[in-house]
Amino acid sequence: MSPTSHTDPSRLRIATWNINSVRLRAGLVETMIAASGVDVLCLQEIKCRDGEFPFAALQAAGLNHIHVRGQKGWHGVAIASRVPLVAVDGPDFCRAGEARVAAVRIGDGAGPELHCLYVPAGGDEPDTEINPKFAHKLDFLDRMRTHYRARAGDSLIVTGDINVAPEEHDVWSHKALLKVVSHTPVETDMVRAILAEGALSDVARMAHGPQIKLSSWWSYRSPDWQKNDRGRRLDHIWTGGAMTSAVQPESFSILRDARSWDRPSDHVPVWADFVL
């Protein structure tokens, strides 16, 4: 999808993007902000410590309020915003203690809670006995299930690289990927349970019926990602409580063009508008 203009001051545009090194791609973040008119940007896989984050670049682009949970070399998440943010304790989803969760309240502290998540990719082998990375991923998802079930009905916006394509048309080939990490039944069933038990709505599927193919990630290994178009929808925006009526599903966008930018991330930005 192409970017759309954002000129309504009553709306707040919230985006999520696995940037795969924010220092390397700070210029692309500035380009994305200008292209989208985003108000709140949730970033994953920033790959830097808190003090190494490119605050000046994002502030120059208008996102003056920034909450960072960084980590040396790997992982890391951040939330940058035009409007004030109040940091809150994020849920304890990561048993390894990695920087994979950032949480804030939008506004002066009385606004909705926003979560920025980076779920572990899970390695290559979907077997917990031989692949500890996959076991870690399932544990992370199980902790999400417990947390959001306990908070069903709360005003929540959950964003991030969930690293699961839960529906048949969230992948280029359902049959071919059933044994591939990110689309195995144990993962997709877990995400469906998180949504159902947590009373969370998947904004992408509020906007588009289940038969519409959607992707937000294309592998670097593909020699021509556009021609092959073997994508997966790994990047999500979910809503809970009053936020499900506050979101504007028709605004949901995937900035597919970003995958062709110079030295791109393998993920592209996803956003939706909210009337708060």
| Mean pLDDT across 241-246 | 98
Q: What does the pLDDT look like over 48-97, one tens digit per residue?
A: 999 999 999 999 999 999 999 999 988 999 999 999 999 999 999 999 99
| Number of residues written out for the chain | 276
Asked whether 29 and 35 are in contact (CB, 8 A), the reply is no
Q: What does the pLDDT look like over 110-121, one tens digit per residue?
A: 899 999 999 999
Q: What is the pTM of this model?
A: 0.96
- What's the confidence (pLDDT) of residue 39? 98
Q: What is the mean pLDDT of the chain?
A: 95
| Amino acid making up residue 254 | I
The total of other beta-carbon atoms located within 10 Å of residue 258's CB is: 20
Is the pLDDT assigned to residue 2 strictly greater than 60?
no
pLDDT confidence tier of residue 4, bands split at 50, 70 and 90: very low
| Mean pLDDT across 95-109 | 95
Please state whether beta strands 40-44 and 11-18 pair in parallel, antiparallel, or not at all (unpaired).
Answer: parallel
Q: What does the pLDDT look like over 180-189, one tens digit per residue?
A: 999 999 999 9
Domains of the chain: 12-275 (3.60.10.10)
- What's the confidence (pLDDT) of residue 10? 79
Asked whether 85 and 55 are in contact (CB, 8 A), the reply is no
CA separation for the pair 160, 235 (Å, rounded) = 6
**What share of the chain has pLDDT > 90, as a percent?**
92
Q: Kindly write down the DSSP assignment for every residue of the chain, as one continuous string.
A: --------TTEEEEEEEE-S-TTTTHHHHHHHHHHH--SEEEEE---S-GGGS-HHHHHHTT--EEEEE--SSS--EEEEESS-EEE-PPP---TT--S-EEEEEETTTTS-EEEEEE-----S---TTT-HHHHHHHHHHHHHHHHHHHTTTS-EEEEEE-----SGGGBS-TTTTTTSTTSSHHHHHHHHHHHHHTTEEEHHHHHS-TTS---SB--TT-SSHHHH---B--EEEEEETTHHHHEEEEEEEE-GGGGGSSS--SB--EEEEEE-
Is the pLDDT assigned to residue 267 strictly greater than 60?
yes
